[in-house]
Amino acid sequence: MAEAADQITALREVSAVRPRGLWVDAWRRLKRNKMAIAGAIYILIMALIAIFADVLAPHNPNAIDPTAAPNTPPFWVAGHNPQYLLGTDSLARDELSRLIYGARVSLIVGFVPVFIVTAIGVTVGMTSGWLGGRADNIIMRIVDVVYAFPALLFYIVVQSAFRDSKIGDIFGGLLLLFIAFAITDWVSMARLVRGEVLRLKNREFVEAAKALGVPTRRILIRHILPNSLAPIIVSIAFGVPSYILAESSLSYLGLGVKPQTPTWGSMVYDSFPQVTYAPEFVLMPSILIALIMLAFTFLGDGLRDALDPYMGK
Amino acid sequence: MLRFIVNRLLWMIPVLWLVGTVTFFLMHAAPGSPWDVRVGGKNISPELEKSFNRKYGLDKPLVVQYLIYWRNVLKLDFGQSYSNESQTVVQRIMAGFPYSARIGLYAWVMALVLGISLGIIAALKQNTWIDYVSLFFATVGYTIPSFVLGIFLLIIFAVKLGWVPVLFAGWKSYILPSVALGLSTAAFIARLTRASVLEIIRQDYIRTARAKGLPPRIINLRHIVRNALIPVVTISGPALASLITGTIIIENVFNVPGMGYLFIQSISARDYPVIMGTTLFYTFFIVIGNLLVDLTYGLVDPRIKTS
């Protein structure tokens, strides 16, 4: 009996809202997911903080103030310095400014590798899936072998090798990180896209396009790619926090960005020696890392649920 | 089945070769020499450096060294450690391996037990407060980086409460690292299990089982759980791999004298044989782990024939 009532309600819901195409429906479903919206808002706030860091930060994040004492506690602890709201770190740099600028670097570290990896992965995946046969086989073998390489080990070895060289100096150590990430991580995106291409390759609309004489590249870009965007978008949403995490972990090991570049991960590394008597300096960047990852995870979950056409059947 | 195993084992050869090659040339690209540490970080005199290099064959051209290394490996000789001259690479790895293996194992077991049970409970009690609380914990556990979690746990339980020692000593010291390492995987498994169970409950064959009048426990165990585990087994491969490499970071947080610690140490000490040895060992482990997972997958899902 309950089943029947459920079905009637579902029917009413469906008929009340006419489906209007994947994107509009997906957007509507996404809007209903409160956690995803909360995540998106948080990310937006962090992005604004990152963009306007120069205006928002009270001090230069790398300026060592000779007059201030290192490890001044934040404002809720006695003995604080009102000039430095969240205290100073072990090198007498303003914590608050570092956290604000840290948002900028952390977000860059999250987004840029994702786009590089997506570009490479989509290209390789589409080529491999479309060509099929021998070429596909060879490419997939390469993918399998690269996939088997333990990523963290690779990052560690690359970072330790080149961090002190010229490449390691560009963008305060960020370029090297991007290269390291790009070399290993394009494979899962390639696999994903290839799967989508295989799924769509034999559909009628592709056959029709081919019959009409549409050139291959156009078919791929105008027809197949838009139809495979859903898993790519979800991949991007989950990819950003994974790179923030990877950078934090590497910085925590002392193998991340260069010391002048403030990221939340390197701030944890810097403050770790004082963890027993001044844990706030470890906690503050750690909490920020956790929160941004939380936001992206909620958003990614929401996107995946919204874009999956079989949800809520 | 046997062909499958042999196929995968053969596949391991090019993988190990690639990993070894890349690691070899990258680590030699790193500035600094293995001997800087010997003389307390000061600049070593060129004659001394030359004699050390000659002793360990580092003065030969790089490609020759590369070939010599692989020739030795085929004889199962992984070399002597540079930083710790009395020990071979294999000895140092074997010394650290039990710690890492234990932490990894405990973390994995915890992740499975906690994750699967939490996921099933959350799904069976969907949309109740139990579900929301479990989901909350699962999401939080999944997004906090393991080293952040490790630091928090260390501060709370070792420093403030003193329940476990701060430095690594005795069996109690295994608890925190295992939890820190395994919790994010547990959270991931919980979410996955929950989604999977939810999907299965709606299936027709479950409705048939209920209609047949099967007792709920039989339905739960035999039908729901068995099918829900399939996606869990699928992700087990990458999950295990990330646990294994995750020990590298966790061991750093908790000062565990395991393989991960050895790896990091050897990187900064430019202890080439140890770097190569540990990297190859990690890769080997991950490949074997993936193989075991795939075999289990064949057992769990009768539709898959691994031949």
Which chain B residue's Cα is nearest to A294? B143
Q: Is the pLDDT of residue A189 over 60?
A: yes
Q: Report residue A18: phi and psi, to 5°.
A: -75, 130
In DSSP terms, A94 is beta-bridged to A88
Q: Mark yes or no for CB contact B18/A149 under 8 Å.
A: yes
Region of B291 on the Ramachandran plot (φ > 0 left; ψ -120 to 50 alpha; else beta)? alpha
- Alpha-carbon span A244 to A174, nearest angstrom: 12
Q: Rounded to an integer, what distance in angstroms lies between the CA atom of residue A5 and that of residue B167? A: 60
Alpha-carbon distance of A159 to A177, in angstroms, equals 7
Give the Cα separation of A40 and B244 in Å (integer).
Answer: 32
- Among A93-97, A159-163, A165-169, A233-237, the minimum mean pLDDT is found in A165-169
Q: What is the nearest CA distance from A214 to chain B, expressed in angstroms? A: 39
Tokens matching residue B75:
């004889």
Task: Spell out which residues of chain A touch residue B15, defining contact as CB-CB under 8 Å.
Answer: 145, 148-149
Contacts of A272 in chain B (CB under 8 A): 151
The tokens for B259 are: 């393989």
State the pLDDT at residue B107: 92
Kindly determine whether residue B252 and residue A272, on different chains, have CB atoms separated by under 8 Å.
no
- The residues on A that touch B, with CB distances below 8 Å, are 144-146, 148-154, 156-158, 160-162, 164-165, 241, 245, 248-249, 252-253, 268, 272, 275-276, 279, 282-283, 286, 289-290, 293-294, 296-298
Residue A163 has phi, psi (to 5 degrees) of -60, -35
pLDDT of residue A312: 43
Asked whether the predicted pLDDT for residue A1 surpasses 70, the reply is no
Question: Tens of pLDDT along A22-37?
Answer: 677 778 777 877 888 8
Interval A111-128: pLDDT, tens = 899 999 999 999 998 888
Task: Give the distance between the most distant pair of CA atoms in chain B.
Answer: 86
* Alpha helices per DSSP H over chain A: 2-16, 22-32, 34-51, 53-56, 95-131, 133-148, 151-162, 166-169, 174-201, 204-211, 216-218, 225-227, 229-252, 264-271, 280-307
Question: How many angstroms separate the CA atoms of A3 and A16, rounded?
Answer: 20
Confidence (pLDDT) at A206 = 82
DSSP, collapsed to helix, strand or coil, labels residue A185 as helix
> How many Cα atoms sit within 13 Å of B48 on the Cβ side?
11
Q: Which chain B residues are closer than 8 Å to A156 by Cβ? A: 248, 263-264, 267
**SS3 of A94, please?**
strand
Residues 6 or more apart in contact with residue A239 via CB below 8 angstroms:
A113, A114, A117, A118, A185
- Span A239-262, mean pLDDT? 84
- Burial (CB < 10 A; 0-12, 13-18, 19+), residue A11, is exposed
Instruction: Encode pLDDT of B55-74 as tens digits.
Output: 777 777 888 888 888 888 88
Measure CB to CB from residue A253 to each of B159, B252, B283 and give the nearest one: B252
What sign for the dihedral angle of Cα A124, A129, A132, A136? positive
Say if CB B300 and CB B140 are below 8 A apart. Answer: no
Q: What is the mean pLDDT of residues A274-299?
A: 83
Contact A161 B22 (CB under 8 A): no
Reported pTM: 0.81
pLDDT for A10 equals: 62
* Dist. CA B96–CA B285, nearest whole Å: 14
- A279–B147 C-beta distance less than 8 A: no
Q: Are the C-beta atoms of residues B266 and B202 closer than 8 Å to each other?
A: no
Count CA atoms closer than 13 A to A268's CA, side-chain side.
30
Secondary structure, 3-state, chain B: CHHHHHHHHHHHHHHHHHHHHHHHHHHHHCCCCCCCCCCCCCCCCHHHHHHHHHHCCCCCCHHHHHHHHHHHHHCCCCCECCCCCCCEHHHHHHHHHHHHHHHHHHHHHHHHHHHHHHHHHHHHCCCCHHHHHHHHHHHHHHHCCHHHHHHHHHHHHHHHCCCCCCCCCCHHHHHHHHHHHHHHHHHHHHHHHHHHHHHHHCCHHHHHHHHHCCCHHHHHHHHHHHHHHHHHHHHHHHHHHHHHHHHHHHHHHHCCCCHHHHHHHHHHHCCHHHHHHHHHHHHHHHHHHHHHHHHHHHHHCCCCCCC
Weakly modelled stretches of chain B, pLDDT under 50: 306-307
Q: Where along chain B do its domains lie? A: 93-269
Buried b (16+ CB within 10 A) or exposed e, B239-276: bbbbbbbbbbbbbbbbebebbbbbbbbbbebbbbbbbb
| Torsion of the alpha carbons at A257, A259, A264 and A267, rounded to the nearest 10 | 140
Domain B93-269 top-level CATH class: mainly alpha
Longest dimension (CA), chain A: 78
Tokens of B51: 């004699």
**B31 touching A (Cβ < 8 Å):** yes
Is A145 within 8 Å of B241 when comparing Cβ atoms?
A: no
pLDDT over 80 (residue A76):
no
The answer to whether B15 touches A148, Cβ cutoff 8 Å, is yes
**What pLDDT, on the 0 to 100 scale, is given for residue A79?**
67
A contacts of B31 (beta carbons < 8 Å): 164-165
Q: Tell me which chain A residue has its CA closest to the CA of residue B28.
A: A161
